[in-house]
Amino acid sequence: MIPAVVEADGVRLRPFRPDDVDDLAAGCADPVTLRFNPVLPEPYTTADAHRWISEGAPAARLAGGAAYAIADVATDRLVGGIGLSQVVPARGQAEVGYWVAPRARRRGVATAATRALAAAAFRAGLDRLELLTHAENPASQRVALAAGFRREGVRRAVGRARDGRREDLIAWARLAGDPDGPAARPLPDLPDGRLTDGVVTLRRLAPEDTDPLYRLHTLPEVVAVRARPVPPTRAAIARRCAVAESDWLAGGSADFALLDAATGALAGGCALVYDEPATGQAMLGYSLLPEARGRGLTTRAVRLLAGWAFGTAGLARLWAGTAPQNAASQRVLERAGFRREGLMRGRLPAHHDSTRPDTILWARLATDQP
């Protein structure tokens, strides 16, 4: 049995009390909390808070799980909630869930609480803890990583949205024998959140980039060099922007907005796809809006990206492909220190006839001189 009170890492996990009602109602009525916890009533009222304190939390413990208020150790005031559910005794397994009130976010509260609960759960005899997050909720994914959980994959349609739709969720797990400390990440964050040389700036793609990125990727000349030369829908671009941070945290890709440093406007985009982590190799791609072309911005962006990839990220090799007729893209790669390595015959799907387009292969090694 997990103790009634767990105190560690600067947080206190304790039972909910009647005097928590107002803080509990305010925290659970927050739009972000409601968005990612669709089982909560909406609107969430003080009556719901009373019901949880008197009935819901005790029932969770009787079912073999746990429901704790996360309290500030100095004031004992509620700042969030955390618990264990979906207990499977035969497997020694349970699922962790948490939320934090807006006023206490970005202080490491959820990470500290998850670490403390995990340690108590393992001491009580559990062998495996799971955690499920939405792809659009990178803050929760960062908590999972910082608390030592490893990403295991995507559970298709395992969740149900408030409107009844089924939703995919990312599955994370931590075992009793896993080492303490944060889980390893293949792709680190950018230093200070961006890379810049004073002329161009690269930062992680974000939801606010949807409209200019959609305009970019529906340009005929950009569509023509896509793996499948079909323009994306706006919904697809919106989804790409919404999950860019999640994909980065997973280590699959680093998707960048390319900005004009002078104006802050989006001038294009570039992406690093970590296609061979075992060999330290990644592919890169890029494209630029018409009004930003002819100023050397893409070359600067590729140099910045390569410097980060070979430095902070520790990659060994970058490669890129260009259409044989795309002389402008080839000049970008040459100026950024890439060398032509050969021709990949029929690499891409056929467009409107039976001929599969060739791709010229370019590469740069970490040991190459820039």
* 94: nearest Cα among 132, 40, 54: 132
Of the pLDDT bands very low, low, confident and very high (cuts 50, 70, 90), residue 270 is very high
315 φ, ψ to 5°? -75, 160
Predicted confidence (pLDDT) at residue 10 exceeds the cutoff of 90: no
The answer as to whether 181 is a domain residue is no
3 state DSSP class of 213: helix
> Cβ neighbours of residue 122 under 8 Å, at least 6 residues apart?
129, 176
Instruction: Judge if 325 and 201 occupy the same domain.
Output: yes
Instruction: Judge if 218 and 170 occupy the same domain.
Output: no
Instruction: Judge if 240 and 169 occupy the same domain.
Output: no
193 Ramachandran zone, left/alpha/beta (phi>0; psi -120 to 50): left
Instruction: Judge if 284 and 157 occupy the same domain.
Output: no
Q: What is the pLDDT of residues 198-239, one digit of tens each?
A: 999 999 999 999 999 999 999 998 887 777 778 999 999 999
Q: What is the CATH number of the domain that holds 149?
A: 3.40.630.30
Count of structural domains within the chain:
2
End position of a domain, from candidates 175, 204, 221: 175
Instruction: Judge if 57 and 154 occupy the same domain.
Output: yes
Instruction: Judge if 350 and 230 occupy the same domain.
Output: yes
At residue 156, the pLDDT reads 97
* Spatial distance between the Cα atoms of 28 and 22, rounded to a whole number of angstroms: 10
At residue 290, the pLDDT reads 95
Instruction: Judge if 231 and 329 occupy the same domain.
Output: yes
The answer as to whether 184 is a domain residue is no
Q: Provide the residue type at 245 as one letter.
A: E
Of the pLDDT bands very low, low, confident and very high (cuts 50, 70, 90), residue 76 is very high
Of the pLDDT bands very low, low, confident and very high (cuts 50, 70, 90), residue 351 is confident
> Cβ neighbours of residue 218 under 8 Å, at least 6 residues apart?
231, 232
For residues 202 and 303, is the Cβ–Cβ distance under 8 A? no
Instruction: Judge if 137 and 202 occupy the same domain.
Output: no
Residue 59: CB atoms within 10 A of its CB come to 12
Instruction: Judge if 34 and 155 occupy the same domain.
Output: yes
The answer as to whether 336 is a domain residue is yes
- What tokens does 53 get? 């304190």
Looking at residues 3-10, what average pLDDT do you find?
90
The answer as to whether 127 is a domain residue is yes
pTM comes to: 0.93
Instruction: Judge if 205 and 352 occupy the same domain.
Output: yes
Q: Report which of residues 9 and 156 the model is more confident about.
A: 156
Looking at residues 280-289, what average pLDDT do you find?
96
Looking at residues 8-36, what average pLDDT do you find?
96
The answer as to whether 138 is a domain residue is yes
For residues 211 and 235, is the Cβ–Cβ distance under 8 A? no
End position of a domain, from candidates 175, 204, 225: 175
The answer as to whether 123 is a domain residue is yes
End position of a domain, from candidates 118, 142, 175: 175
**Strand duo 66-72 + 266-276: pairing:** unpaired
The answer as to whether 183 is a domain residue is no
* 57: nearest Cα among 68, 47, 48: 68
The answer as to whether 119 is a domain residue is yes
Instruction: Judge if 99 and 159 occupy the same domain.
Output: yes
Instruction: Judge if 212 and 109 occupy the same domain.
Output: no
Q: What is the pLDDT of residues 303-312, one digit of tens each?
A: 999 999 999 9
Residue 73 belongs to what domain range?
6-175
At residue 354, the pLDDT reads 72
